[in-house]
Amino acid sequence: MEFSDTYKHSGPCYFSPDSRFIAVAVDYRLVIRDVTSLKVVQLYSCLDKISHVEWAPDSEYVLCALYKKSIVQAWSVTQPEWTCKIDEGAAGMTHARWSPDSRHILTTSEFLLRVTVWSLVSKACVHLQWPKHASRAVSFTQDGKFVAIGTRKDCKDYINLLSCNGWEAMGVFETETTDFWDLEWSPKDSTIAVWDSPLEYKVLIYSPDGRCLFKYSAYENALGIKTVAWSPCGQFLGVGSYDQAVRALNHLTWKPVAEFTHPIVVKGPYNAVVFKEIEESLHMDISKLNINGKSSHDRMGFKGDHGGYREDDRHEGPTRIRYDVLEFPVTMISVKPPLDKPNPKQGIGILSWSPDSRFLLTRNDNMANALWIWDVARLELSAVLLHKDPIRTAVWDPVHTRIALCTGTSSLFLWTPAGACCVNIPLPQFVASDLKWNPDGSSLLLKDKEAFCVTFVPSISDFEEANGQ
């Protein structure tokens, strides 16, 4: 694996949808870099510190939201002279996003007074009053023709359907929720999933004409839903909750076809694999480790015992990070959150499907050091990755069945159905606290607190060959 040098950032960093560029916020400036060379392609100056960055779906434009000044500035990558400025004025601004056609920007005002759709072509704007949330409860269909926006009026929740062609209202209907948290169109645009706030376990499935097709509640009188995600194929709706379980609802009956729990003692199945991160001190010639190398698969820990090398202040000399395969049964480390504090760290905090919908990854916040990978086709556990530190981010490769995760250390971890490995980040004082995949799956962006780097990931075939498959 090849790692680039580090570059400064002050917050948002995103790959463009066409995988060609990286947009990086550096205080008042927006820096556009080429993915391959990381050379600066464009440099824009904003009127205040950048709060949010988002690429247009066609990768032609990029917006910068300056929430302190209630301003959005948009730029064109191919036409440096083109620029756009949206000022919400006294209404304030809490969120901004692109529409699927890349020619409209949606902004949400402070105090949830309205959502405004701004046209970059005609300069006209359309208002929708009383949005339910600032950044949530807005979902576009896959074809980009319609949008569902959650609103609240007279203490009741509603879903407003708008056509993205002229932004006319297509219909509005009330939902049977107490205080709904979010909504999302199914991948096939046939239904809308709505779920209530964490105070109540309730999932509702609506048709676009407002008919409630199904209601689901796993239990009552306890904290409910924490995470929800559609499978890419649209056949399953994964629902993670505070009871430390994930339930997969089938799109035909809307009843659970699988329930994945996260036990403290894992006893099987025996075809599952438990990888545990091991850190050990090395008593050998440091010069043989080639710690500062940037190219060999051996240096990065892709061969042999899947290890990575790094310098560590807690040890004298270099240390070696690798995965050990544990024998069943395996006892997990579980932390019980305090009952007198809000937002308890328990339940399913991360829930994500693989691109082919076969695998599901989860992180139970009671066991934040463990990543669980479930085989949905077999309805069983496939693997568990145990780490010394809590998992910060775990993300599927957008193209292949592969996971990259980081734990706020100088190591990067990768998993495929063929195995798992630890990779050292050969950059001094760099710790990966967040990561993002390039949409084409060829590279990863790793973020430290004030710097980022890019690493180019081997293909799946190279990965399996390096691991002796």
Residue 255, pLDDT score: 93
Residue 96, pLDDT score: 98
Give dist(CA 442, CA 226) in Å, integer.
Answer: 31
Residue 1, pLDDT score: 86
The strand order across the sheet containing 29-34 reads 13-15, 21-26, 29-34, 40-45
| 244 within 8 A of 263, measured Cβ to Cβ | no
Taking only the tens place, the pLDDT of each residue in 166-190 is 999 999 999 999 999 999 999 999 9
Render the burial of 303-325: b for 16+ CB within 10 Å, e for the rest. Answer: beebbbbbbbeeeeebbbbbbee
Provide the token pair at 167.
């932004």
Taking only the tens place, the pLDDT of each residue in 275-318 is 999 988 765 444 444 433 333 333 233 333 344 544 444 445 57
CATH topology of domain 8-87: Thrombin, subunit H (2.40.10)
Q: What are phi and psi of 426, to 5 degrees?
A: -80, 50
Q: Which residues contact 175 (CB under 8 A, 6 or more apart)?
A: 150, 157, 158, 159, 194, 204, 206
Q: Are strands 318-326 and 146-153 parallel, antiparallel or unpaired?
A: unpaired
356 pLDDT higher than 50: yes
Ramachandran category for residue 27: left, alpha or beta (phi over 0 → left; psi -120 to 50 → alpha) = left
| 24 within 8 A of 33, measured Cβ to Cβ | yes
Residue 336, pLDDT score: 87
28 pLDDT higher than 70: yes
Residue 342, pLDDT score: 81
User: In the predicted model, what is the mean pLDDT of residues 20-27?
Assistant: 97
415 pLDDT higher than 50: yes
Average pLDDT of the chain is: 91
Residue 466, pLDDT score: 58
Q: Which residues contact 93 (CB under 8 A, 6 or more apart)?
A: 65, 67, 70, 71, 72, 107, 108, 109, 110
Taking only the tens place, the pLDDT of each residue in 113-171 is 999 999 999 999 999 999 999 999 999 999 999 999 999 999 999 999 999 999 999 99
Grouping H, G, I as helix, E, B as strand and the rest as coil, residue 53 is strand
For residue 464, give the H/E element and its range. Answer: helix 460-466
Give dist(CA 362, CA 376) in Å, integer.
Answer: 12
Residue 304, pLDDT score: 30
User: In the predicted model, what is the mean pLDDT of residues 404-427?
Assistant: 96
Residue 344, pLDDT score: 84
468 pLDDT higher than 70: no
Comparing 312 with 242, which gets the higher pLDDT? 242
Residue 343, pLDDT score: 81
**Side chain identity, residue 294:** K
Q: Which residues contact 51 (CB under 8 A, 6 or more apart)?
A: 11, 65, 66, 67, 68
Taking only the tens place, the pLDDT of each residue in 44-68 is 999 999 999 999 999 999 999 999 9
| 161 within 8 A of 169, measured Cβ to Cβ | yes
Dihedral sign for Cα atoms in the order 78, 145, 123, 133? negative
| 366 within 8 A of 372, measured Cβ to Cβ | no
Comparing 359 with 297, which gets the higher pLDDT? 359
Taking only the tens place, the pLDDT of each residue in 65-122 is 999 999 999 999 999 899 999 999 999 999 999 999 999 999 999 999 999 999 999 9
| 310 within 8 A of 427, measured Cβ to Cβ | no
Range name among 82-91, 197-206, 340-349, 416-425 with the lowest pLDDT average:
340-349
Residue 458, pLDDT score: 84
Residue 301, pLDDT score: 33
pLDDT band, residue 459 (cuts 50/70/90) = confident
Give dist(CA 4, CA 453) in Å, integer.
Answer: 6
Report which DSSP code applies to 127: E
| 146 within 8 A of 139, measured Cβ to Cβ | no
Residue 126, pLDDT score: 96
358 pLDDT higher than 50: yes
